[in-house]
Amino acid sequence: MKFGVVVFPGSNCDHDAYYAIGKVLQKPVEFIWHQSENLAGCDSIILPGGFSYGDYLRTGAIAKFSPVMKSVEKFAKSGGQVLGICNGFQILCEAGLLPGAMMRNLGLRFICRHVHIRVEQTDSPFTNAARKGQILKIPIAHSDGNYTCDEATLVDLEKYEQVLYRYTTSDGLDDNAGNPNGAVHNIAGVCNRERNVAGLMPHPERAVEFALGSSDGLIIFRSMVEAMVGAAKATA
Amino acid sequence: MATASLEIKVTPEIAAEHGVTREEYARIQGILHRDPNITELGIFSVMWSEHCSYKSSKVHLKRLPTRGKLVVQGPGENAGVVDIGDGLVAAFKIESHNHPSYVEPFQGATTGVGGILRDIFTMGARPIAVLDSLRFGEITAGKSTPAEEAAKNRRILDGVIRGVGSYGNCFGVPTIGGEVCFEPCYSQNPLVNALALGIARKEEIFLAKAKGIGNPVIYVGAKTGRDGIHGASLLASAEFTEESQQKRPNVQVGDPFMEKLLLEACLEAMHTGAVVAIQDMGAAGLTCSTMEMASRGGTGIEIDLAKVPQRETGMTPYEIMLSESQERMLLVAEKGREDQVLGVFEKWGLDAVVVGQVTGGGIAIIRHHGAVAAEIPAHPLAEEGPVYDRPLAAPAPRNQTATDWFDFAPEGTNLTQNLLKLLASPTISSKRWITEQYDTSVRTNTLAGPGASDAAVVRIKDPKTSEVKRALALSTDGKGRWCQLHPRLGAKHAVAEAARNVAASGARPIAATNCLNFGSPEKPEVMWQFSETIDGLAEACNALGTPITGGNVSFYNETLGKSIYPTPVIGVLGILDDINCLLKIGFRNEGDRILLLDGAAGGASPSPTTDSSREFSSSEYSKSIAGIVAGEPPGIDLAAEKRLIDCLGALASQGAIQSAHDISDGGLAVTLAESCFASSVAGAQHAAPLLGASISFDEAGPAEFSLFSERGARAVVSVTPTNLAAVLAIARQWNVAAREIGQVTGDGSFRIEQKKRAVIDSSIGTLRDVWANSLELTLQPK
């Protein structure tokens, strides 16, 4: 079992994801350079947060043309586990590996703070270690996290239970009040129909130790480990 | 001037247009033994500008303490460096970007942050935190501020905040603290001071000294354009006039993405071992970097400007040498290993070109397509510039009498409304609306972000092993209003407050950096303020054991002849040996006892004499409630400050207390309220209701003085009833008075009684809402 963290020019949460997996979770992890088409035998790929290529055109719009993304796409199509965090989520949307797109935050400002998200589904490699309805406290840090999609896609997302995480308040009672950026249906993270590719705006890698204010993000990484262990058993 | 060519014959008049005086011009002729050409004049003018040469401040700066057993590198390099143990060092420095931020707030602020970050990674250190100390004119209309001016100040603030955020957020460094203050004097001259902190292994620190004759000189990073020409000499080294807005083209443009690539590439290149020296191109760009590297290394340098990557055509040598395009570096590589260095930059997609070489003989030769464009002895240029011991004059004594001073309300007056008003004032109110626009948690080191603790606290991961050992605490403080009233005293308070803040986070203050913002040095009153400030800083830094390791001086902060308050901003760095001993400001348990610690022996409240009235007139309360700014700041007892600092350190390391918060702007009442606002119930997983406080005191006299005085050497701590005796014993041991003034309550109330009569009585929620929302309501009305 090995995680790979892709490094685009301008990625700035690559070290954090690496640290969370390698140091806190104590699982094998390595960096994958954006010009590499070789995923180095990794079983799970993380597209980290940051400002790939400066995000000067549109968030994630240039990164999707990176050589590494061809391999990531192939990997995803063959059922490989891919998680996009923040800018990584934006890249996955741009690359068409996840439905939807990001608009500027409702208030048109960058927002960094802890938010609460509810785990809506537990039958995915990104949520299987959580309880359904569990509320996680995880920080966000973005300008463009206002998730949107067309009506038909939205209906499908809900119908196929692809909304994995939804913004809410700490008590889980008022999703609209907990939504920091205006995302449609208070969506914080989604997966694809096949459930092997997911993206979320909050940063689970920043919530991995009590000293950082929360360790709830570990639940997401543990889920990914569980899924890989399960997959290994199934093929054994 | 921007299109100047080689053919222009330099005269003293042209020199004067460059800000070069007749005497300075004669000195140039003396060094060159001839008249300079226009490119050489340009080079001298920026190198000898106030901003780059410190010509007016040098004679005074010598009085600052700069040595200490932990100081690895003092002033003179790109940043100060201190030993933080375990083979690691911290590089840190604060710098101003005031004028550009007024002319073009967004770009001014971004390039301020970009410049200080480059200073840090130029040293081989990876930046791990940024703090911003910001000062603006009043943002609400009032007596001294017309509505139009307040609106303009809000726009400046908005641009600066966006600029600071956009650069740090993209670069990937957390912006975790600083200050935001408001005074009318900053209306036409905001202060944008950015501090950056980085860490490195001790043996990996790089210096900017050219070495090794024949070693190649390599230009890396962004291409050179015409932006920022004369940023240092004309923008930063002259006061503002009505035409200053025309200087917008002199403001540089920042590209944080480019800088992020430059950071990674530079650190990677340094790790190859093939880099000999490195210097960023900040103020005065290629001029400063070539000349200073050669001068420091005692070598010469020869470069050909035709090889410099350019983004505009037809640039003259003058323009290339003076451009302040951002995100550029100059480095010297080991001869024969340049391909290794160039390879790293190629990997990161950055321009990297060998533009010349290190030479012997000490002469800097600047060629353009082979022809000599400038030929200057590097060392005299860099080190033998003019030094001025400018005249000093104390201002005429202010003719103040007791009638100008704050008039205390009679004993027993209920002050709840005044507390609400104070909590809503821009300087006191929550800065959440601002700080949430900064990425505060990237790099997962932030243990205490904005407002959580008195200092910003980041843990240190070993660059190689990611092992976490200690944490660093940082606080920036400046007391402009107090320095205006009494520069020497105000400067001491600034150091004491920054050190106290660091101590209240549980850390041990070890070193300082300073950014000295003043008016025109050509005015004797301003130079007197400067000189007094230096003496105050020196005395306080000596007393508190925090040598100054670097910083910068920003003169000419005036517009239309009106100076800002003299504003030394001090950044104090501290070490927290055990991250579990971190102290935050928030109360944690209902029933905990609240203690007032006072380093001044005895700790008795002074009687309400005219002295207290006079010093109270300098307080935030006096300004916000009565509109009075007068008198003098409270006296300071540096020994008492030191006792309090040591006592807080002992309490923290023994895990004896639940929270600590120093008393500063707004006094005891605001300190107590903030500890309630930041309360987090121990063990609660998610948001719990706010804790309140019940306080009582019995001394006679004006409650306003007891509650809102900003006397130093004091802090509020909370302690569990079982630990009370132990805490009192520790305080006694350090000769710090500890008085139990009340306890933490869980009924949601905030109540302060004097002789059993309530002087403050409110729900904590009401106070919190006013404090939390007022800035946002002012800046972004719904």
Taking the C-alpha atoms of residue B586 and residue B681, their distance in angstroms, rounded to an integer, is: 9
- Of all residues in chain B, the one with the smallest CA distance to A216 is B685
* Residue count of chain A: 236
Residue B455 falls within a domain, yes or no? no
Domain of A77, CATH number, reads 3.40.50.880
- Which residues in chain B are contacts of A56 at CB distance < 8 A? 257
Domain extent, residue B19, equals 1-58+207-389
Inter-chain touch A53–B687, beta carbons under 8 Å: no
- Inform me whether the pLDDT recorded for B397 exceeds 90: no
With a CB-CB cutoff of 8 Å, which residues 655-694 of chain B face chain A?
685-687
CA angle B396, B398, B404 (to 5 degrees): 170
Looking at B86-161, which runs of residues are DSSP E strands?
Answer: 88-96, 126-136
- In tens, the pLDDT along B222-261 reads 999 988 787 666 566 667 666 665 665 667 888 999 999 9
Q: Which of A5, A8, A12 to mutate to test the interface with B (most CBs of B within 10 A)?
A: A12
Looking at the domain assignment, is residue B377 inside a domain?
Answer: yes
Domain count, chain A: 1
| pLDDT for B161 beyond 50 | yes
Residue B605: band (very low, low, confident or very high) from pLDDT cuts 50, 70, 90 = very low
Interface residue B459 vs chain A (CB under 8 A): yes
Question: Which of A15, A110, A170 shows the shortest C-beta gap to B165?
Answer: A110
> Is pLDDT at B143 greater than 90 in this prediction?
no
Residue B606 has pLDDT above 50, yes or no: no
Q: What does the pLDDT read at residue B741?
A: 97
Output A173-177 pairs: Cβ under 8 A, ≥24 positions apart.
A175/A118
Q: Among A167, A94, A93, A87, which Cα is nearest to B169's?
A: A87
Q: What is the pLDDT of residue B253?
A: 84
Query: pLDDT digit string (tens) for A119-139?
Result: 999 999 999 999 999 999 999
Which residues in chain B are contacts of A111 at CB distance < 8 A?
A: 436-437
Does position B8 have pLDDT exceeding 90, yes or no?
no
Size of interface A-B (CB pairs under 8 A): 91
> Any CB–CB contact under 8 A between B431 and chain A?
no
Smallest Cα distance from A181 to chain B, Å: 13
Query: Is the overall model pTM greater than 0.80, yes or no?
Result: yes
Tens digit of pLDDT for each residue in B83-134? 999 999 999 999 999 999 999 999 999 999 999 999 999 999 999 999 999 9
Question: Which positions 167-196 of B are in contact with A (Cβ < 8 Å)?
Answer: 169-172
Ordered strands of the B456-461 beta sheet: B446-448, B456-461, B468-478, B567-576, B508-517, B548-554
Residue B372's φ and ψ, nearest 5 degrees, are -75, 125
Residue-level pLDDT at B231: 65
Contact check, Cβ <8 Å, B170/A171: no
Q: How many domains does chain B have?
A: 2
Lowest average pLDDT, out of A203-217, B276-290, B396-410, B606-620, goes to B606-620
Range of the domain at A132: 3-235
Mean pLDDT across B650-665? 98
Which residues in A lie closer than 8 A to residue B169 (C-beta atoms)? 51, 110, 112, 141, 143
Average pLDDT of the segment spanning A180-204? 98
Distance from CA of B580 to the nearest CA of A (A): 9
Give the model's pLDDT for residue A117: 98
Q: Considering B347, B366, B389, which residue would you say is the last residue of a domain?
A: B389
Is the CB of A212 less than 8 angstroms away from the CB of B441?
Answer: yes
ipTM (interface predicted TM) = 0.97
Q: What is the pLDDT, as a whole number, of residue B256?
A: 96
Chain B hits for A204, CB-CB cut-off 8 Å, are none
Q: Is the pLDDT of residue B1 over 70?
A: no
CB contact at 8 A, A177 and A184: no
Name chain A contacts of B258, Cβ cutoff 8 Å. 54
Mean pLDDT, chain A, integer = 96
Asked whether the beta carbons of B572 and B499 are under 8 A apart, the reply is yes
Residues of chain A neighbouring B446 (CB-CB closer than 8 A):
212
d(CA A68, CA A203): 22
pLDDT at B226: 87
Rounded to 10 degrees, what is the CA torsion of B727, B729, B732, B733? -110
Q: How far is A28 from chain B (nearest CA, A)?
A: 15
Of B365, B389, B413, which closes a domain?
B389
- Active site residue ranges of A: 86, 203, 205
Which chain A residue has the Cα nearest residue B683?
A210
**Closest to A201 (Cα-Cα) out of A48, A95, A27, A34:** A48
Q: What is the pLDDT of residue B249?
A: 61
CB atoms within 10 A of CB B698: 8
Alpha-carbon gap: B159 to the closest alpha carbon of chain A (Å): 12
Chain B, residues 106-135, CB within 8 A of chain A, namely none
Dist CA A163 CA A154 (whole Å): 9
pLDDT digits (tens, 9 = 90+) for B766-779: 999 999 999 999 99
Tell me how close the Cα of B260 comes to any Cα of chain A, in angstroms: 6
Q: CB–CB of A110 and B349 under 8 A?
A: no
Q: For a pLDDT cut of 70, what percent of chain B falls above it?
A: 94
Q: In what order do the strands lie in the sheet with B216-221?
A: B275-280, B328-333, B216-221, B352-359, B300-304, B363-368, B371-377
- Picking from B444, B580, B584 by the largest number of A CB atoms within 10 A of its own CB, the best residue to mutate is B444
Alpha-helical regions (H) of chain A: 14-19, 67-77, 87-94, 151-159, 175-178, 218-235
The minimum CA-CA distance between A180 and chain B, rounded to whole Å, is: 11
Q: Which residue has the higher pLDDT, B420 or B780?
A: B420
The rounded distance, in Å, linking the Cα atoms of A32 and A37 is: 9
Cβ-based neighbours of B62, under 8 Å, separated by 6 or more:
none
CB contact under 8 A, A206 and B171: no
Cβ within 8 Å of A, B 198-257 = 255-257
The residue-averaged pLDDT of A49-67 equals: 92
pLDDT digits (tens, 9 = 90+) for A143-159: 999 999 999 999 999 99
pLDDT value at residue B90 = 98
Helical (H) or strand (E) element with B655: none
Closest CA to B115 of B1, B236, B218, B238: B236
Token look-up 């380093």 returns B599
B15: CATH: 3.90.650.10
Contacts of B108 (CB under 8 A, 6+ apart): B97, B99, B100, B101, B102, B159, B160, B163, B192, B251
